[in-house]
Amino acid sequence: MPKLGMEPIRKDALVKATITEIGRTGSLDVTVSQIAKRAGMSSALAHHYFGSKEDMFLAAMRHIMTIYGAEVRGALGVAQTPMARIEAIVVASFSAANFRREAVGAWLNFWVLAQTVPQAKRLVAVYQRRLKSNLLVGLRPLVGARAEAIAEGLGALIDGLYLREVLRPGAPDGAAAAQMARAYLAAHLADAP
Amino acid sequence: MPKLGMEPIRKDALVKATITEIGRTGSLDVTVSQIAKRAGMSSALAHHYFGSKEDMFLAAMRHIMTIYGAEVRGALGVAQTPMARIEAIVVASFSAANFRREAVGAWLNFWVLAQTVPQAKRLVAVYQRRLKSNLLVGLRPLVGARAEAIAEGLGALIDGLYLREVLRPGAPDGAAAAQMARAYLAAHLADAP
DNA sequence: TTTTTTGTTGATTGACGAGTCAATAAACTT
DNA sequence: AAGTTTATTGACTCGTCAATCAACAAAAAA
């Protein structure tokens, strides 16, 4: 039954299955067979398309970051004021697409992976740089030199909210998390210039 | 050469070796042999004192939390004002003993472990509850009803700073992290009542 | 139509690692 | 002195899993 042009479809299915499986179990200790099974194929085929399990992990990381990046870019595109730019980033960070169990669970595990795999570390570094840079563009017109420290803090707060989400019972509450980030901002903007 | 009363010494060595090894490799994928070797004994002996690898992990978690808890309690003991109480927690959180590579790396991995192992999850929950409660005692006299949200945010920020420390190059900078937490507080305290 | 390329899997290999066991020995008890 | 408890390890079992391979099938190219 081999239809041609399966490669992108299979790869996509595997990437999604990887995220699902890591998020579901909350661990990088998932077998290639588990992932392949969830993606509806044999483990041998998974190895055929991705050379190794590590490659699957990296592709899954890139996928998460791509989604996140696209959403941020989209929201940023329609932001007119500095304040709106920051708000756009906050909203995107805690949107339903990004701030969901699976994705957050996978994200945390990728952070851990970054301690072992240089490629993964680079990916996280890219995420951090972009986030900071995006925040700075919005913050500088508002607070000048203080922007640096505020961006750093807001970045850490967002990561911390992700981290905590992982262990929270019940459905994720992106709105509450976003509110927390906004409060951080409001406080810092109101503070002495 | 068996001297008696080895149990506590061996267990202690194993707990410390577990933290070192997890922190060093940045992963829970450490073998019992690795840990035992670093602790200066055979893997069989490690299994003799702790029933399983998971038990070792849990003991290591408890150890980290005990150190942290003791330091917080110590600092809290000499704090006279609400503000001093909060400052005590911040200082303890980023003290040299707690905010060091190994410990932070291990801490993150234990957070991940908590997704899989209920016992570990409970331990993290205890840590979170204590942190929040300690912060609230200091915050309530200062900001009343807003204390809840501020404590939650400060907790998330502290966790986020830990999370980011894991991937930062160079020696940990507890002073900078503490400064970030203080800025968060200052901003929120200065903000409208 | 033969050949090549693409898709697919069951079976196998090879490594690694948690946990068990038997054996040895020193100390302590009776 | 005989027996028991504690300390200790090398060797072994048993399971798991990433990665490979041989084989088969269908489409495309020659």
pLDDT at B193: 60
Q: How far is the CA of A50 from the C1' of C1 (A)?
A: 34
pLDDT, tens digit, for every residue of B112-126? 999 999 999 999 999
Residues 6+ apart with CB under 8 A from B157: A153, A156, A157, A160, A184, B180, B181, B184
| Cβ within 8 Å of residue A111, ≥6 positions away | A124, B108, B163, B166, B167
Cα of B48 to nearest chain A Cα, Å:
26
Asked if B188 is an interface residue toward chain A (Cβ–Cβ < 8 A), one would say: yes
Share of chain A above pLDDT 90, in %: 96
What is the distance between the alpha carbons of residues B162 and B158, in angstroms, rounded to a whole number? Answer: 6
What pLDDT is attached to residue A1?
47
Can you give the distance from the CA of residue B45 to the C1' of nucleotide C23 in angstroms? 15
* B115: chain A residues, CB-CB within 8 Å: 25-27, 105, 166-167
Element (H, E) at B106: helix B101-113
pLDDT at position B36 over 70: yes
Q: Residue B125: list chain A partners with CB under 8 A.
A: 167
Query: Mean of the per-residue pLDDT values for chain A?
Result: 96
Query: Which residues on chain A are in Cβ contact (under 8 Å) with B192?
Result: 190
Give B123-153 pLDDT, tens digit per residue: 999 999 999 999 999 999 999 999 999 999 9
Mean pLDDT, residues B174-186? 97
pLDDT at residue B191 is higher than 90: no
Number of Cβ within a 10 Å radius of residue B21:
22
Cα–Cα nearest to A110, from A59, A186, A76, A146: A59
Is the CB of B53 within 7 Å of strand C?
A: yes
Query: What is the CB-side half-sphere exposure of residue B81 using CA atoms within 13 A?
Result: 4
**A156/B contact by beta carbon, under 8 A:** yes
Q: For residues A92 and A127, give the distance between their C-alpha atoms in angstroms, rounded to a whole number.
A: 14
Beta-carbon separation of B188 and A183 below 8 A: yes
| B90, containing H or E segment | helix B82-93
Q: How far is CA A107 from CA A23, A132, A145, in A?
A: 8, 18, 31
Residues of chain A with pLDDT under 50: 1
Proportion of chain B above pLDDT 70, given as a percent: 97
Distance B3 CA to D6 C1' (A): 8
- B65 vs B4, higher pLDDT: B65
Nucleotide with the nearest C1' to A53 CA: D18
Q: So what's the pLDDT on residue A174?
A: 98
